[in-house]
Structures are given as structure tokens and as C-alpha cells.
A and B are shown apart, each in its own frame.
Chain A
Amino acid sequence: MNLALRDIRHNLGRFLLTCFGLSLLLGVVLSMIGIYRGLVDDALVLARAPQADVWVVEAGTRGPFAEASRIPGDTREAIALSHGIAEAGAVTFQSVETQHRGRKLRLFVVGYEPGRPGGPAQVVAGRNITRSHYELVADRSSGLEIGDRVALGTSKYTVVGLTRNLVASGGDPVVFVTLKDSQELQFELSPSAARRELARGAAPSGTDTINAVVARAAHNVSPAQAAHMVARWKHLSTMTQLEQETVLTQSVVERARKQIGMFTAILLLVSAVIIALIIYTLTMDKMREIATLKLIGAPDRAIVGLIVQQSLAMGLIGFSFGALLIASLKDVFPRRVILNPEDGLLLALVVIMVCVVASGMGVRLALKVDPATALGS
């Protein structure tokens, strides 16, 4: 007969309660790992959306996300005509705050040229922008629905399509509008001083400003080669997609990433200690039964089995419950929680290891216990 199973069945309530506590703990660990993954991934989705090979930004900057970048609108044509470039699109980025259904809504507005790189990679509902004005593709996380009308600046925009999981590094939902609309919006929202200057008749071409050009390399040209070919303009800087992503993870979300990473590590450590303590006390509580087993002549193998099987069962049930719990709750989180199977597997391995080590400590004690201790009252 399996002693571990018998003991679990006899103390089922207590066992399940302990498993439940463990599952909450491991659920928190898993969600923290998921939050970390989500943060890193969210930081990159916006930069990945244009599916670009090369980013062209203002000279001396690492824009447009890590640093401000402003370049003339006609840069796009020059880049598109460059050797090694297949196509290019002008893009703008700006944060806008608006109201929707009586609630404050912060959006990250991307202006792009329909038909050129820079637009949404995939529209999951509705359609892409087809008119040159006042249409908008929004991310689902904004809460906007197709057909909704939302005010950006002084104009009302109609939501025509939806994307999924597309947010800026700060977590604001991304919306796409045409480049023309976004430039208008930029002008409306720019500081009034600049606007006054413009009104006095200063160079009106100043409104045709963009933040970056995203370009795709021609067939048989590597992103690095393409970036090199367009690097000859003095007033521009170029970055490959990889460089852009590196800048994003290593500077834009670096602190947040380290912060959450650190917290996750601490949480993991604390959980390991708690699991070890639970299993250790579980074994200590059984010392009398273990001594009795020795009295009646049970071999070490039976005693080790009792302890190790039980702690493994506890760890695995706790982990599975916790994983289920977080898998079913992850969409309730305000930001994305990404549950990678590999992360789950790794955590499961850590839990198993902790269980084995902790029960190993218990086993050491159990094997040392004097059978005579069972004889006292």
C-alpha cells in the first residue's frame, strides 16, 4: 500500500489547503514572470509593427522612441529612391489624451501613409484606413469599438479597424491615423508659441515634419547593408531593426525591466524558502509516525517514499493549480501577461527541485530519528 497516498487521504483537508496556499504563491510567481515578459514584449510590439528593416531618424539621435527625432517630410522620397531600399514610409508618433464615453483615454497615435510601411501589421477586425482623413485603426486594449467616434484634437475620428496587443512601451494603446491627420494633430497640440510663430508667416513647410522613416531592404540586401547605404545623409541617422529593438529593451524599458526582474527573482527565492519550510514542517509533524514505522520494521525506502512522494505531490498539485489560476486570470490584468510554456516548465522544475531538496532535509532527520521516540506518550 502507498503510505504517502494514505496519509494524504487521511488528512485531505489539510493537504488541499496547503496545496491551495502553494498554488496562490506559485500563481503570483508565474504572473510576475508573465508581467515581466509582457513588459519586454510590449516595449517591442510598436517597433515591430511596421515590419521594417531600417529606421531613419534625426542625426545624432536614437529615435524615435528612446529620443525625440524630427526630420523633414520629404526624407521619405529620398530614402525610397536609395539604392538597396525596396519601400519606405514616413511615420509620426505622439501621445494624445482624449475622452471616450466619459472616461479619460490616453492613446499613442501613429501617423502613417496608407499603402506604405508603418501601418498596422494585422487588423483583426474591420478594415485598414482607406480615406485620407478622420479614420482610425485602434488597438482593442483602448476599449474602442468599430464605429465609435473619438475626438483627437479638434476633429472627430471614426474607428474602422482593430488591432490586438499593440501598445506603446508605457502601456498606452496604439491607434493609427493617416500621416496627414497626425501632422495636423501635431500642429494643433504643439506649444502655442510655435503656433504663433507659424501664424506670423514663418516657413509653413515646418508642418511637414515626421519622426522617422521606416524602410524595407530590397531583395538580397541585408538590413545592415541597407542601413549603411542610406547613412550618407548628414542630417539623418540610421538604425537596423535589431538596433532599434536593442535600444528599446536596453534603454526605454531598462529600469522597469530590471525592477520587475529583481522583484521576480526575490519572489522566486521567497517562494522556494516557503515551500521548503512547508515540506520541512510537514516531515517534522510526522516524526512520531516515522519512529513507529521504524519500530514495526519498515525499511528506509518506505519512509523516504512517504516523505518524498508527498512533497512532490504537494509541489506539483500546487504548481498546476497556480498555473491554471493565472492562465484563467491573465486577461484581467491591465497590461499584458505573457505565459510562456518554457517559463512554466522552468518554474515547475524549480518547484520539483525545491521539493526534493526540502524533503531531502526532512529525510535526513527522519532517518536519524530514534525509534524509541515513538514510545513516549
Chain B
Amino acid sequence: MNAVAPLIKLESISKHFGEGSTRVDALRDITLDIEPGSVVGLLGPSGSGKSTLLNAIGCIIEPTAGRMTLDGEVVYDNGWLRSDLRRLRLEKIGFIFQFHNLLPFLSVTDNVALVLQLAGYDDDDAKHRATQLLDYLEVGNRKQAYPANLSGGEAQRVAIARALANKPRIILADEPTAALDSQRAGIVMDLLGKVAKDQSAAILVVTHDEKIFSRFDVMFQLRDGQLSSDAA
């Protein structure tokens, strides 16, 4: 085992929706460490709690119990310990969502540059870095386009550029390659692997996509909200 402190540390994290007869236990007692530099796959049937786990780590939904440490900071201990979760997200976490979630009224470049500006980059630096990332992800030719005019694959790559823009150490991706052909899926996974090494980031990827299983350092399986690990 590695002695490096984990970037993501979950201890007995649980989450249920509703109460009584409508209660759904989406996560049961999840304990998990993810180390810097690793690309981790999260597998499981539909409804097993993969998105819920990802959103809990991203501080988008609040767990119901447990303890969560991100990048050395305890952020949840049977309750949020930070009031500025948005700042935390901006600084530490990059998201790649299932439904891209690009802002429809901003051009491709501005969607990426906005995150950088919010993080304190000035206009020119933000635009410059956004352009570089988009070129790297091979969507540089759509810089001026608006999200409504992008194909699913293009939108996904823009969303990835946005997630990587602020060089977060934690990257959470929900089905990032679902809309991509295997060549582009390979490029995305290469990129995530490179980011994990270069920025010594922890990357957690929810996927069904067997084409990319070989790219993971570790894989976990979720079933009915419970975790079992599979060595890749």
C-alpha cells in the first residue's frame, strides 16, 4: 500500500432519500480512499447509487451520515463543516456531468473561461488557457459556437475542458465517454490519466463503458448502495 495521504477519504458515508415507506437507501456505509495520481472507475447497475456517491463527494448533495475528507480537509462530519461549498468546488473539484451542463448563453470559449475568471484569472489569461484546453481536446474549431449547436461529443469535450480548467485536484466524471466513439473515448481517458499524473489529481469516473475499463488503476463496484472493490 501507498503511504501518500488520500485526496478523497470517505468513512461510513450514508445517504437516503425520503423517510418511512418512501425511504430509499442510495448509499450504505461507504468507506473509500482515493489517492492522488489515480484514475478510479465506479461501476454498477442503474440505480445502484453511483451518481449519488459522485454528487456527495462533489458536495452537491449532503450525505445523511459519515465523515468525508477532501484534500486533507474534513468537509463533512455528520453535517457540513464549511459554509462556502461553492468556493470549495471552484477551488478543488472539477465536474464532468452526464448532461454536460454548459451555459447556453455563453460561447464554448466563455463557458471554459468563466470558471477561470471566477477563480481569479484575468480576462486574457482565462481566454488563453481556455483556448489551449479546447485545442488540446480537439474542439478548438468550435470556440465561437454556442452549446446548442454542438454535437453530443463536442459538448462533452467542452465540459471536460471546463472541468480541467482550474487544475482541480479532484475530478468527478459521470459517464464522460458515453457519447463518444472509442477513439475519442480513448483520447479523453488518456487526458484524464495525464491530468492525474501531472496534477497528482484523483479522478473518479462513473461508467458502463467496457472499452475504457483497461484505463482504470482501480475499479469499484456499487450494488444497492454498497461498495465492493475490484482490482483492475
Contact = CB atoms under 8 A, between A and B. Distances in A.
A372 B55 CA distance: 8
Nearest to A300: B86
Interface in A51-85: none
B95 A295 contact: yes
Interface stretch (A138-146, A155-163, A179-187, A286-294): A286-294
Interface string B140-157: 000000100000000000
Interface stretch (B99-107, B178-186, B189-197, B214-222): B99-107
A288 to B, nearest CB: 8
A306 B114 CA distance: 14
A299 B86 contact: yes
A375 B89 contact: no
A371 interface: yes
Contacts of B95: 295-296
A16 to B, nearest CB: 15
A1 B110 contact: yes
B206 to A, nearest CB: 12
Interface residues of B, number: 30
Given A1-B113, A1-B117, A296 B90 contact: yes
B115 interface: yes
A1 B86 contact: no
B101 A294 contact: no
Which of B55, B60, B89, B103 gathers the greatest number of chain A CB atoms within 10 Å? B103
A298 B84 CA distance: 11
B24 interface: no
Interface string B35-68: 0000000000000000100010000110000000
A293 B114 CA distance: 10
B9 interface: no
A112 to B, nearest CB: 68
A302 interface: yes
B118 A296 contact: yes
A7 interface: yes
A285 to B, nearest CB: 11
A262 to B, nearest CB: 43
A232 interface: no
A296 B87 contact: no
B200 interface: no
B26 to A, nearest CB: 12
Contacts of B105: 3, 6-7, 9-11, 289
B99 A377 contact: yes
B97 interface: yes
Contacts of A7: 105
Interface of A: 1, 3, 6-7, 9-11, 289, 292-299, 302, 371-372, 374-377
28 contacts: A1-B113, A3-B105, A6-B105, A6-B106, A9-B105, A10-B104, A11-B105, A289-B103, A292-B101, A292-B102, A292-B103, A294-B86, A295-B60, A295-B89, A296-B90, A296-B162, A297-B86, A297-B88, A297-B90, A299-B86, A299-B87, A302-B118, A371-B86, A372-B60, A374-B101, A375-B51, A375-B55, A375-B60
Interface of B: 51, 55, 60-61, 86-91, 95, 97-99, 101-106, 110, 113-115, 117-119, 123, 146, 162
Closest 7 CB pairs of A and B: A297-B90, A10-B105, A7-B105, A297-B89, A297-B86, A292-B101, A372-B60
